[in-house]
Chain A
């Protein structure tokens, strides 16, 4: 298997506070990996480092063989990392379809003059992403809500739309930040199936943060456990379940 993302001894300081330290992680092509840990362990910070929202204080992050150092989030998205947010960040006043259309941004091939003059290429490209967008919404059972305003969608549908939108950027690696938060068990089950399916269908690697252990243990092939900004364990789900360090971190007290 070839390595897609590699983080080596990454740390991030906020003032004097160490949010993440000595963080190592490898994600191979096609893998589905879980990142778990107590609240405030630095999981979302890791996502922010991978997507360029933050720059690491020390260490390197390589993606598809190239360093991500100094890149803006938009450049990293163009490289092929997409994400969702823990606190949903949709374009809430826009329609569902427009949310997805924006995500096709980097794949549109017309320039300013062509857009303003509405030449054939503009027309063709707009038509193409409109169709692609509707196609994508169909996968996420949102096709009949395409013209609704995003903020009016039920919570679960908003989470699905966020994933659809992330996929529209055509990533190689998809980062999901608590995709099942706020979902009921049935929705969570559907979500698990969907995550498995999109990984296969879109030939993706997926890294997900999740508190729902049944989901993490159910679908992840490998799991990293983060506590106080450091990886305290990583391995197969069964290994993680039995790891005394992990049990201590989650249940408190001495193992």
Chain B
């Protein structure tokens, strides 16, 4: 077959125009590891990007939700008649108006609209759709609700006591979920120990504070199919769940994800506001937009899981860890969302961050009338690492060992299969430890600051180290952990990648484009990534577990390689070369041996269309990582790869006020390989500061079930002047399964910060604090009391 005649009108793509005119040598132009600007950044920086808040549909109404004014009560009567009569109100709905609603969420214990009982002040009772948000808000005030108070319970331990108020029928003990895990023999481990310590750690409520508040637009077409403009991080799973909750065919639900103003795990579960917006749209036959206020966002969004964690650890004189025994109590709040399942991750840190021969873990998530916790970047690992790494320091001290040496002695190495069955194929843990410690001069500072503790003076300096293990190659939580890609190359050599993976600001869109460029030898501006419409994109389990680069990246590579094979075969045929002797570089088909350009890729592609066997280059690929499902005892390898990091933090403690200033963070991250240096630095810097907020400034204050500080005024995110100096090193272990060797990084940087800070405060002051956050008052009090011992 010869080259078919060109189209009558020759159109040249911009990138094609820049391609060198043949014949010429074309160099390989890899983008991997470079500083690549995010593809969506120019629009975002110009104010052009349209988030849900910025979208309006014709005929749209505005939804608002009425929530309980009681903490725990029976609903005796709801009267919506006055609200219905308010001009501009199109619908007022209560549970009675929605006969088909089903419980939603991880525990399937949560009705979108509560029918007979409220269990928290977050509880949704009624909703209004009106011509404006103001009218909707005014209508809420006209709804009368009569309650009969029930006895509340605000403490997870108290909720376990006999006679405690029961939150859910069928759960007489208030236990929402339990996890049990063990390997080895704790009794033996304890018998072998020369040192045993036990402490209780208390982790607080924090919340995501996405800058874009929660919102949704629900729109039914005339045939009853639903289009949902949603911020969800898991569109395909939610399609199915929405169908269940609504009682409609999942095939009639289309989820479109406009750009979102931050995710961080907050949008991994279905929360009532989305089904409620859908109910309102169904009731009014109009599009309904429902957007939170910031106060609502604080008062009703899921939180990070608060935990009370009792940890017993032992070690031998020679510095070998012997055992760990853990019991945790999770305040589950009124309903079960992902927070209840964080033990799944906590136990991995307990069992496998260091080599521990004997391990036992038990946890209960217990219903109370408090807020419920969702998933939040790091997913339990901040909590678990805080306890484990505090204990690593305490054990080292009890043994008279240097904290770094003690950690190195027990750190995991490549090839290890842990007691839990996690297989560490690539593992840069020891490199991380040595790098972070070396760059910070950790050992010298640690000795000197400890020696200076006794000296008088207002300010004390300290350094602390902590490390973390997290999934870096997806996580087998659902039946599949896969992601699909559809790739097409048009006749101007423009590549469209349709991926199931969602972009939530983290930069996956750009990384996926880079990986495709690497395979197809096209410039970055020749790639468009489509990633936000369930009617177009293939299946994926969502953006969570630091999985997107790894899973969606591998999936995109798979599709690109198939496309490349097609292109090369066609090129070989057209040119009369062996396909193996050809390469694709900068939009050109070149001779592999010397880069001699042969023809523009676009020209070849056009010729395919106009040949007698017209063909489009279009491929699909589904990638499922080579990990396994854990057994019922949680044994097994949940991820295709694992990420490691060590961080050293230097603090200055003002002993007269309790203010802890985070001066420096030295981080070393085993990321497999850096794909986009700009993007990965941004992930780490942002994660460090999020960890800083968790450690020092953020606390959602919940008193008797009510959030007392639902505003940025009193919920303190870290501001620019407070950030530490950061020194970040990437350890490239080139993971065999990773896309170009990369592993996940999204959650890792936030995980060790609180733990390293605790160790640094101890190094500065000699006082160990077991409770977060290290706000000035908490630290000051601890210094006065000489540490909150046990």
- The answer on A and B forming one complex is no
